[in-house]
Amino acid sequence: MPTDSHIHQTLDHLFRHESGKLVSVLTRIFGSHNLQLAEDVVQDTLLQAMNSWKMGGLPANPSGWLFTAAKNKALDSIRKQKRHHEFAANVSYLLQSEYTLSSTVNELINNNELEDDQLRMMFTCCHPSLSSSSQVALVLKTLCGFSIAEIARAFITTNDTIEKRLYRAKQQFREQKIAFEIPQEQELEMRLDNVLTAIYLLFNEGYNSTQHEDLIRKDLLEESLRLGQLLAHHPATRKPDVFALLALISFNMARSRARLDEDGNILLLAKQNRTLWDRSLIQMGFDYLDQSAEGDWLSAYHIEAAIAYEHVSASSYPATNWKNILRYYDLLYRIQPTPLVALNRSVVIGELDGPAEGIRAIENIEDAGSLKNYYLFHAILGEMYSRLNETEKADACFGEAARLTGSRAEKKLLAEKMSRL
């Protein structure tokens, strides 16, 4: 019989991969104004799975088990609440009668529109009546299985703030009865930016986890790639910036196996074994980058993908084309003049012109104060000071970086850097 730990791990994996599908198809039945009901049914389904699987073991098809359980719970909820709730307008009348209730729910849950349902969910979450921050938070919560804490970390804010955003968004769904649909062309363009932002944040959390004990979260990386591919496969959302984001994700995912040693210690780019890089993912990134070149639109994702391309194309760390990368960062800073982009640019300057110039670039960052609570700001400064043999400054910077990060792997790396000073 599987252990509780194994069941927890299986459920956590399924929650990431299946909860967004379940919430999407249930929202199609209940209507977006009943999003909380859809989430409650999915949560109850996962709790039932936990209790049932502890007693009887894992089923042969865990995903199928969850969909069947969710369908039964949906039927129960509709029977209990059909006199007090309106459901999705196009099927509500079919849900009122026992003659058509079961067959309608069965058809909607078992049909072949699951991918379209998830796209509808993405764009419903990104309705223009919601604030941009609420849109992204909803995508992360409903489609990606993010916890409140993980969303708060992604936004660098508090759990309470995220809970309020989500509550207000669902309230607007109820009041405005926002349609569960993929919008038409003009409105689709407006909403797509925030859908891509949510996928980008999901990828970042998987690539360098902010609170999980594992630095690299393969499940989140795979989910970000899957959601991006949903967009790439649909005729309405096959856009250049979608392919650019997929190229960026593919190039960075390709290096995952080489970023940690056998003991789980972080290996920075200069020390990675490039034979461990996934060549199939790199080729996938090349293909997506080619597809992103259509049209005359240049997004930040194009530029970040080009930077990642330079890294995966270099035969060794010394062979990296830092001049090209600096040109890309100059262009990125024109599109996104943020302190974080300027900080990353300073790293490249340090590689090209030495650590003293890198430090000078950091000192010249506008609004650098906004980075004071960002651990990499101090870690980068510490690395540059250590290369200049200014050990006291380096030690102070590494210590502050260690205080600010919640990652055990990052803390260990910083402690090793301090011990070598």
Query: Which one has a higher pLDDT value, 304 or 134?
Result: 304
Query: Which one has a higher pLDDT value, 96 or 29?
Result: 29
What is the average pLDDT score of the chain? 89
pLDDT score recorded for residue 213: 63
Mean pLDDT of 193-203: 88
Mean pLDDT of 180-200: 86
Q: How far is CA 312 from CA 218, 229, 237, 278, 285, in A?
A: 19, 21, 27, 10, 10
pLDDT at 392 over 70: yes
Q: Output the pTM of the full model.
A: 0.84
pLDDT score recorded for residue 361: 97
Side chain identity at residue 374, one-letter code: Y
pLDDT score recorded for residue 83: 66
pLDDT at 254 over 90: yes
Query: Which one has a higher pLDDT value, 215 or 33?
Result: 33
Per-residue pLDDT of 216-230, as tens digits, reads 878 778 889 999 999
The crossing angle, in degrees rounded to 10, of helices 375-387 and 355-363 is: 150
pLDDT at 131 over 90: no
Query: Which one has a higher pLDDT value, 266 or 324?
Result: 324
User: Distance between CA atoms of 281 and 399, rounded to whole angstroms?
Assistant: 36
**Residues 60-75, buried b or exposed e (16+ Cβ, 10 A)?**
eebeebbbebbbebbb
| 291 CB-contact burial (10 Å; exposed 0-12 / middle 13-18 / buried 19+) | middle
pLDDT score recorded for residue 397: 96
Q: How many CB atoms lie within 10 A of CB 144?
A: 23
Task: Work out the percent of the chain whose per-residue pLDDT is above 70.
Answer: 95
Query: Which one has a higher pLDDT value, 208 or 282?
Result: 282
